[in-house]
Structure 1
Amino acid sequence: MPEDEDLALITEAALAAGEIAARHFRSDIETWDKGGGQGPVSEADLEIDAFLRSMLLERRPDYGWLSEETEDEPTRLSRRRVFIVDPIDGTRAFIAGQPTFSHSIAIAEEGEVVAGVVHLPMKSRTFAATRGGGATLNGAAIAPSSRVEVEGARVLCTSASMAPPLWRDDTPPVVDRHFRSSLAYRLCLVAQGRFDAMLTLRDAWEWDVAAGDLIAREAGALVETARHQRARYNNPRPLLPGMVAAGPGLMPGLMARL
């Protein structure tokens, strides 16, 4: 099955990327700000990006390529399948010596993610999924929370996402709010059921969420953009209008308040 073969490939790539990141973790590496509100980048991001692009396109030369750290090439839009990659998701955490960064690798086919891996090397956690094949953490099946009530739900988001103007009647839900730097990891934590929901109401780049989106959905969670739509991938401008993920019992009540 092509998805299984692709999942094996991107898992191999993610694990190898983790070895590169581990060599640089908590070391004196060069970092700089990309400007324009894009945030920081490190030499490790670029090294991992170059490695992944070389490895993956050598094995799948007919696939397109979309990565946070590679200049975009419009040729990807004509490819049936495309890699969507964030070499280090959560670069701020990586630079700060926090272990919650991840490597996020997805493969999309005609707008739909069909295989995805989110690997956290410093936590020895590898989340993976294929379309129709369920989701796993280190090979074991995972499932989301069964919570229904919004009040008291454990939600991963920034404080900005709780701003009253973003919610119906200017009343954000009362939640137990937490934060992780990596959007991909936030989606996986919902897939695993460790948190009831995650949301980001600001625009999200495809590479931040593609793999985590599939993993959460295959685990049994519901995932939508902040505009109440299912995300499509490999867009000309690879930016999505936010993302919300939650267990199936919680999602309707949470989305109704947006």
Structure 2
Amino acid sequence: MTTDFPAAAATDDHIFATWLAGAAGDRLLEVRSQGLEGRELKDAGDAAAQALIAELLAEHRPDDAVLSEEAADDKSRLQSKRVWIIDPLDGTREFSEPPRDDWAVHVALWEDGDLTVGAVAQPALGETFNTGTPSVVPPRTSTRPRIAVSRTRPPAFVQALAEEIDAELVPMGSAGVKVMSVVRDVADAYIHAGGQYEWDNAAPVAVARAAGLFCSRVDGSELAYNQDNVSLPDLIVCRPELAEQIVDFVKRNGTD
């Protein structure tokens, strides 16, 4: 387990977030190895990761507020200067289908109006992408742009975008994995519309920004976190050189 607390994490939020996401990822790998299947495995994963993250936040960051997919929304966070935004298991479907590796753990910190820290663990890959040691996005290796899309619900407007800019679609699981695919040069863009919440993309966006990627709503406007309404239904994460084309397409054609 990654639960041995690194001394530097006491004062460094980047190290703490990375450790926390990794510890939850280790716990999820343990759950996955217990022989459970289907809904039972999904529920066990959600519960185990949430319990561990809640326990460790209470122990090591007791004065901070928390917004988690798997816990009731305590609106007192709206008066807090520090809010951890958590998705204990992003990509529950993929987690429940071993040996798929396209699922993740999201840990982000919002401070005084913006995201400052993020960590996205992909436990099945043994990787935790984070803002403390930002990834350097390598030069693009593809001749055609690659757009990460849902493997189960690819939006029709993204297909139209791909045709306009001669891009190929790359299906994969969780939202965090799709954003990290751009960080890793597995894809060049991830465009989503049709429903997400703050915990679905806060940590991935923090990591992507730190890596120098463009991040916005689909109309090009800023992403806002720790809002009263936690719905954040659309998102663009892409290489900077593709941003203008993508935003212009959405403004002209919409997402319906």
TM-score normalised by L of structure 2: 0.84
Q: Distance in 1 between matches of 2:216 and 2:231?
A: 14
The 5 Å alignment of 1:42-81 reads 42-81=43-82
Length, aligned pairs only: 241
Give the structure 2 partner of residue 18 of structure 1: 25
Contact kept? 1:155, 1:177, Cα under 8 Å: yes
CA offset at residue 29 of structure 1? 2.9
Give the structure 2 partner of residue 36 of structure 1: none
Give the structure 2 partner of residue 104 of structure 1: 106
CA offset at residue 194 of structure 1? 2.4
CA offset at residue 145 of structure 1? 5.1
| Alignment match of 2:195 (pick from 169, 184, 203) | 203
Letter in 1 for 2:205: D
Give the structure 2 partner of residue 8 of structure 1: 15
- Root-mean-square deviation (CA, aligned residues, Å) is 2.9
Q: Distance in 1 between matches of 2:20 and 2:9?
A: 17
Q: Distance in 1 between matches of 2:10 and 2:217?
A: 24
For the residue of structure 1 that corresponds to 2:240, the secondary structure is coil
- Cα 1:256–1:126 change in 2 (3 A) is same
CA offset at residue 172 of structure 1? 5.6
Give the structure 2 partner of residue 135 of structure 1: 134
- Cα 1:20–1:154 change in 2 (3 A) is same
TM-score normalised by L of structure 1: 0.83
Letter in 2 for 1:163: A
Q: Counting helix residues as a fraction of each chain, which structure ranks higher?
A: 2
Q: Distance in 2 between matches of 1:237 and 1:200?
A: 19
Structure 2: gaps of 5 or more residues: 1-7, 251-256
Give the structure 1 partner of residue 219 of structure 2: 227
Contact kept? 2:82, 2:112, Cα under 8 Å: yes
What are the superposed Cα offsets for residues 223-253 of structure 1, whole Å, 9 maximum, x if unpaired?
1112321211111121113101111111111
1:250 aligns with 2:248: no
What are the superposed Cα offsets for residues 105-164 of structure 1, whole Å, 9 maximum, x if unpaired?
00011231100000111111110015xxx613xxxxx21655899xx3111013755424
For the residue of structure 2 that corresponds to 1:114, the secondary structure is strand
Q: Distance in 2 between matches of 1:91 and 1:110?
A: 31
What are the superposed Cα offsets for residues 177-219 of structure 1, whole Å, 9 maximum, x if unpaired?
0122111121122123221111111121111110110111111
**Which piece of structure 1 moves more, 180-189 or 101-110?**
180-189
Letter in 2 for 1:143: V
Give the structure 2 partner of residue 156 of structure 1: 148
- Cα 1:26–1:179 change in 2 (3 A) is farther
Give the structure 1 partner of residue 93 of structure 2: 92
Q: Distance in 2 between matches of 1:124 and 1:243?
A: 26
Q: Distance in 2 between matches of 1:220 and 1:4?
A: 25
Contact kept? 1:18, 1:119, Cα under 8 Å: yes
- Cα 1:32–1:148 change in 2 (3 A) is closer
Give the structure 1 partner of residue 121 of structure 2: 119
Q: Counting strand residues as a fraction of each chain, which structure ranks higher?
A: 1
> Runs of at least 4 residues of structure 1 off by over 6 A?
1-4, 165-168
CA offset at residue 28 of structure 1? 3.2
Letter in 2 for 1:107: L
Contact kept? 1:200, 1:242, Cα under 8 Å: yes
Q: Distance in 2 between matches of 1:255 and 1:148?
A: 21
Letter in 2 for 1:60: R
- Cα 1:47–1:87 change in 2 (3 A) is same
